[in-house]
Chain A
Amino acid sequence: AQTVTQSQPEMSVQEAETVTLSCTYDTSESDYYLFWYKQPPSRQMILVIRQEAYKQQNATENRFSVNFQKAAKSFSLKISDSQLGDAAMYFCAYRRNAGGTSYGKLTFGQGTILTVHP
């Protein structure tokens, strides 16, 4: 079974600075997706960034980027120029590549609560 581990229950960062959230996972599969989701106080799950395992290039989305180390099974999220609106709970998630057009189930990490100080 796949497992996802986020070892940082809480993190804090000053506005405009950079913070990195850690995530490790365990799987025997070679084809899968990794995700970072943001859950603000509204509790709506928002996709931040997605990485396909077969792509060596690290995904980036504006101020968000990942460091994907497939051999080490590590998938960290870097938030640059942190903003107050970035404050939320962040979840790392794993999904095997189900193929076809169906979307598969996610395995989530424990979550990291990010606080942004003005």
Chain B
Amino acid sequence: GAVVSQHPSRVICKSGTSVKIECRSLDFQATTMFWYRQFPKKSLMLMATSNEGSKATYEQGVEKDKFLINHASLTLSTLTVTSAHPEDSSFYICSAGRTSKGFFGQGTRLTVV
């Protein structure tokens, strides 16, 4: 079946540095991918829609310059957290799919120290 792979699963970075998270569709092409953020025991909140070959669409309240999204190919979207701060620590999940069925990556636990 279709699989979405997310990497890394965990990352710790120092405050002020940037971190890149990758989301790959392994056996299908995804013109659109989605990035969500989740706090512990809370719901998933959509951050942005990643569109292959064009600019991402950000949800209201999400800083575009803080969370850079690149969707350079039909199988890869990346989320870069720039100048990370402790408040950016969270769980980030991507999803992609085709027709009515979507798939989620394994998620990335980001800790900014």
Contact = CB atoms under 8 A, between A and B. Distances in A.
A42 B106 CA distance: 8
Interface string A81-118: 00000000101000101000111111111110100000
A49 B43 CA distance: 18
Interface stretch (B13-21, B63-71, B76-84, B91-99): B91-99
Interface string A29-73: 000010000000011110100101000000000000000000000
B12 interface: no
Contacts of B96: 103
A56 B68 CA distance: 42
Contacts of B46: 105-107
B41 A113 contact: yes
B35 to A, nearest CB: 10
Contacts of A43: 38, 91, 93, 106-107, 109
A91 B97 CA distance: 18
Given A45-B93, A50-B101, A103-B96, A111 B34 contact: no
A42 B6 CA distance: 14
Contacts of A107: 46
A110 B44 CA distance: 8
B41 A108 contact: no
Interface string B25-40: 0000011101000100
Contact of B43 (A42, A47, A108): A108
A108 B42 CA distance: 10
Contact of A44 (B38, B49, B97, B104): B104
Contact of A105 (B34, B91, B101): B34
Contacts of B41: 89, 111, 113
Contacts of B97: 103
A52 B31 contact: no
Contacts of A113: 41
